[in-house]
Structure 1
């Protein structure tokens, strides 16, 4: 009881302190690339190249609290930090850029301690800091980007460390640190609103970490779950791969049709092909379909069956969306089915899947033979205020059905409330606020208490305040 009272007091304090509900912003430097204007004529010296560059970034305060079921521990944490990026002016289409960020644990519960019942760390609060070192409260800085880019009407190229966004690999800047990538990216604008992308990545800095890691070392930084026999997965630090090659095609030929297709070839691990299409079937009515197919490449990461990341399986998923979109309102029903020989597997350290039925705290990676149904209602109100409400129902294999359930997840009812506000007064320009609430409950009443911890029967509250410049 004292801990719950302390948690409530901390929540109240954080509300007063100013961390209340912030709009979730993608970091400014993660915006889609655009063809830069060639201002070579204005550059008279190397000094001008830097003087006429651009500074961008944000300051973010993030308060999170989770109320778990019964005697399971409740937790809270407040992170504060900033990211500052800079890119030079353009010289014959070339620009150099970099960005760094830092985070501090302003206050928190004992997130470095394991829960007495489940023997696990507080998952969500710890993700605000460093999941590899729960005791790390201040040494949380990272060189997030360091790159050289070239932009022209025909090609956009970038090499070094930078953010990347696609259906399975993306920045997902929704904590204090995004997913970041090292490699090379080429993009070719096409006629009729199209874009063709080629990329190769061999180093990664996963969200909620401070290190840059080779591709083979990065796989397994997050919880590896169990293998198909129920034994702890052994692929962490044992996966053999040089990196991932990405190819993507995005098309929007007219106002009624849009689509995209992505292929991710992970050296010696797997090949993953994803595609989706959205069409306007009637005024204010949209329908969409999506599908993914994956199979093993090489030996799946390791010749030893106990150390393999991607076993010899063929896996697929399919989804659909039906939406009604009158003025500034979105109502949709979204569905996802996962099937095949085993489980949908893709490194969580490289981003978060973006399917029609995706909701916060609701990954489907690691699942097979499962279904997810989500109803969404989004509204853009006057005064730069928006709201989103979602209700989800999942049907998952039993937690001990290890062949199709990697992380011991259980079927659940879930609900999400997401409120975002950006002040319109010029004096408050750059400020944004977000309130995110996520709840989950499972219909199965015979779940062991230790298995509920950050898995089901919890309430998660997030208050974020951000100043973008």
Structure 2
């Protein structure tokens, strides 16, 4: 632990050193785009600079980051225990300018508990403790509220004419299954190799190999062999508790992505291979004009043959399972508001399964606190809307989603033993301007209600609950 603390002290010292060098040249520098999807476009404004002294290697760069405060309160059904917590933290990122096509970057992130009730207090009825509030800190060490720093990025990148190659702890583009999903204090983070290539401006390729992960709401880095199954492992189709953690012998994940756009149509194709676990193929097609968007997504999952060599309870996916999902959306928008209607169907050929340690699924019906992972033979309907309230920096939105099909103790298509449910989200967002530009306030209210089963063990921290989230972000 002392060695870990010393390493972080050195890291923050280096960042402060970089900051001092960078700020002396700030009037000549161009800030780095914060949106990773626009990363390549930002490179065109990041020309190579002459090196006249060693300090130029570090001084020709930019510092960016954020400060974040998150208050969360989960109000459970009836006499079940309620929890609340407030976390505060931030991140600082250094990114160098190009040097003969090369650049490097580093990001450190930290979190502290400002206040809370006793998150480890056992509910007298179910024996459970806080779940969502622990996700603000370290879900793998529920007594850890202060030693919560993480070296999130440390990479070197080589830029060439039509793309770049990056190695290390990566700042990556999100994909529909593997993503940062940064709705808490610490997002998902990945280590590996990332290759980006643009062909003729209309064809985008990403190729990646990820061999280490640091899941959301954790502070440590893990190899794939130990990283998959850190969270709730759920149940096997026959009701046996799943025990695949540290049995999968997986070395990593490969991903191939292709995107193109032709007139009003866009196409996205993804292929993920989880070594020794599964293959997942994703195809998405959308038509869009100024007012309307029509889209469809299809996913097919096949198990890796290695799964059949494991004991039944040690398998992530059973050999006979073929997870399939179809999701569709229709969206209408004008300058002030937007409405979306979406439906997703997980077919009865198997459960849709993807490790929760790698991200959250993003189907058209996926909203905060509601995902499809673990379901088969299930339908989900979602109606969403957003409205700009007269001023462009104040907006409000809602989501209503309803899941049809899941039944408690019907494990064949229900990995996490959830009931059919309905959920309502209310969202408010306010961005300050002028002197306080960069500061954002977000409010999220969640109400989730089981449709059939209200037993305390089924609903505790899962359903029949209200949740209040208030987040303050300052980005610089």
Using the size of structure 2 for normalisation, the TM-score is 0.89
Deviation at 1:198, TM superposition (A): 0.3
- For 1:339 and 1:142, locate their aligned partners in 2 and report how far apart those are by CA, in whole Å: 39
The 5 A counterparts of 1:208-287 are 208-254=217-263, 256-280=264-288, 284-287=291-294
Q: Partner residue of 1:390? A: 399
2:54 to 24, 27, 46: 46
Q: Partner residue of 2:150? A: 142
- For 1:257 and 1:96, locate their aligned partners in 2 and report how far apart those are by CA, in whole Å: 36
1:90 aligns to what SS in structure 2? coil
Q: Deviations over 1:139-169 (max 9, x none)?
A: 0111000000122331211100013311100
Q: Partner residue of 1:344? A: 352
> Is 1:372 equivalent to 2:380 in the alignment?
yes
1:168 to 177, 184, 191: 177
Question: In 2, are the aligned partners of 1:55 and 1:84 still within 8 Å (CA)?
Answer: yes
Q: Partner residue of 2:159? A: 151
Bigger shift: 289-298 or 39-48? Answer: 39-48
- For 1:244 and 1:402, locate their aligned partners in 2 and report how far apart those are by CA, in whole Å: 27
- For 1:337 and 1:383, locate their aligned partners in 2 and report how far apart those are by CA, in whole Å: 35
1:34 aligns to what SS in structure 2? helix
Q: Partner residue of 1:21? A: none
Question: In 2, are the aligned partners of 1:173 and 1:179 still within 8 Å (CA)?
Answer: yes
The 5 A counterparts of 1:35-434 are 35=41, 36-37=43-44, 39-164=47-172, 165-254=174-263, 256-280=264-288, 284-300=291-307, 303-312=310-319, 313-381=321-389, 382-424=391-433, 426-434=434-442
Q: Partner residue of 2:469? A: 462
1:447 to 437, 451, 454: 454
Question: In 2, are the aligned partners of 1:118 and 1:451 still within 8 Å (CA)?
Answer: no
Q: How many residues align?
A: 439
Larger RCO of the pair (alpha carbons < 8 Å, separation 6+): 1
Q: Deviations over 1:354-408 (max 9, x none)?
A: 1111110001101111000000111234141122211111113211001111111
Deviation at 1:41, TM superposition (A): 4.1
Q: CA RMSD in A?
A: 1.6
Q: Deviations over 1:50-76 (max 9, x none)?
A: 112111110100000011101111100
Q: Structure 2: 5+ residue runs without aligned partners?
A: 1-32
- For 2:338 and 2:429, locate their aligned partners in 1 and report how far apart those are by CA, in whole Å: 15
Q: Structure 1: 5+ residue runs without aligned partners?
A: 1-26
- For 2:215 and 2:71, locate their aligned partners in 1 and report how far apart those are by CA, in whole Å: 21
Question: In 2, are the aligned partners of 1:239 and 1:302 still within 8 Å (CA)?
Answer: no
2:262 aligns to what SS in structure 1? coil
Q: Deviations over 1:402-457 (max 9, x none)?
A: 11111111111111111111112x2101111100111111232x531221112111
Deviation at 1:30, TM superposition (A): 4.3
